[in-house]
Structure 1
């Protein structure tokens, strides 16, 4: 892309601006000429792009590249036979950046070429209104933010018994399921899973207690290991 910009017949200021943007993107360390391409994304195996620790801007750029690749491939002259799924965690980060237009394209025009999109977020209010209105399935866990609840209220279907605010669950693992395909709503409970952290948020006091216990144990242990 840098070579294309340098060879372009355009104003010097335009080339310099494009070069600066591409140079910054190269510094993110997430793009490579030998990286993942269209064939890998349509491979039978799942492709997991771990962006843990990556800043918001490059994260959104990666999501934009994947979303556009999937869409362009399926609407092209020789579309891959496999129908792709794109699952985006912490989706509000991607929507806030350059991936926003690409994700909106999948939301509004991705159904015809067979592209399925799953957006997971703890901030529904940060997603575009079209995300909830175009969703075939909507899972809502317990929410406490008024802005998030209002965002779901605005997209609530006419067949919903009561309001979203009234139907939102309060227990851990519970969720409100809105199925637009069958025009039905359900309150479900996610099957409990055992995790190392037990589902709770770590606290500094717990870490301090563990450290104190280890120090207390060391006081009564002799060098030969006997107590």
Structure 2
């Protein structure tokens, strides 16, 4: 008997009004101080004063009506927003955060087809919104508790898993770092938000990321800079260096080193082979 499983899928839509002028300029790779950036900032700031919600067509209309800006600058700004409109990801209402975060369910956001700047923007906006909603949720819970009433959580405790974490938490400046490090990592315990990060390049991560990690799971590493990056966060309870422990992992697939700060223990484990379809399997010259 074949069991059919229905998986709900919604379009990922970002609320247009949640983007600031700096978000748009970063997305279009322009400076806020150059003429096109000034035109974008002027249009967005004026729209934000007039409306709580708007769509890209309204931004385009506003840019066309700005008289103080040269036609070639207007044309460039319009082209940028026409391009953004073609991505079909920006919407007047957007996808509610309650659709993304639901108790007892896992939501997968597939942003693999987008450019790196757009990926960073999406993660930044969604992570900030989840954090803000969890802060409000925590406050409501405590108020109900003080009143002796039961409180049903609308936005539950949230775990966010991010693949290719080095894209969103690099060494250099990046908008997503402000949310993921300053809010989720430094302040996340109280509102109840946690991160699971996966990367093949630990040496390119911001150093603060590894220092905040309660559990580190490390498969085989071959690049010396990656080994050195992990070695810098060696806990005091660990005997010997991490690079020596990594040697014990060997070359067998599935074997990993676990460093657990909670139990203050280090283990070598073996993870079962994956049973699902593998979209990132390593190529083999032998076929």
**Same fold, TM-score > 0.5, yes or no:** yes
2:162 match = 88
Task: Report how far residue 113 of structure 1 moved.
Answer: 1.1
Secondary structure of the structure 2 residue equivalent to 1:177: strand
Task: Report how far residue 203 of structure 1 moved.
Answer: 4.5
Match runs of 1:1-227 below 5 Å: 1=17, 4-7=44-47, 23=81, 26=85, 28-44=87-103, 45-76=105-136, 77-78=139-140, 80=154, 82-96=156-170, 97-105=174-182, 106-168=184-246, 169-170=249-250, 171-194=252-275, 201-203=282-284, 206=287
Counterpart-to-counterpart distance in 2, 1:103 and 1:41: 17
Secondary structure of the structure 2 residue equivalent to 1:138: strand
Q: Is the 8 A contact 2:159 2:193 kept in 1?
A: yes
Counterpart-to-counterpart distance in 2, 1:111 and 1:128: 20
Counterpart-to-counterpart distance in 2, 1:126 and 1:151: 9
Task: Between 107-116 and 25-34, report the one with greater CA deviation.
Answer: 25-34
Q: Is the 8 A contact 2:134 2:156 kept in 1?
A: no
Task: Between 131-140 and 186-195, report the one with greater CA deviation.
Answer: 186-195
* CA 156–33 in structure 1, closer or farther in 2 if over 3 Å, else same: farther
Counterpart-to-counterpart distance in 1, 2:79 and 2:135: 29
Q: Is the 8 A contact 1:107 1:130 kept in 2?
A: no
* CA 46–200 in structure 1, closer or farther in 2 if over 3 Å, else same: closer
Unaligned runs of 5+ in 2: 1-16, 18-39, 50-67, 142-153
Unaligned runs of 5+ in 1: 207-227
Task: Between 85-94 and 46-55, report the one with greater CA deviation.
Answer: 46-55
Counterpart-to-counterpart distance in 2, 1:180 and 1:139: 12
Task: Between 93-102 and 159-168, report the one with greater CA deviation.
Answer: 93-102
Q: How many residues align?
A: 201
Secondary structure of the structure 2 residue equivalent to 1:104: helix
Counterpart-to-counterpart distance in 1, 2:188 and 2:79: 29
Counterpart-to-counterpart distance in 2, 1:175 and 1:159: 19
**Structure showing greater Rg:** 1
Q: Is the 8 A contact 2:98 2:155 kept in 1?
A: no
- Give the alignment's Cα RMSD to 1 decimal: 3.1
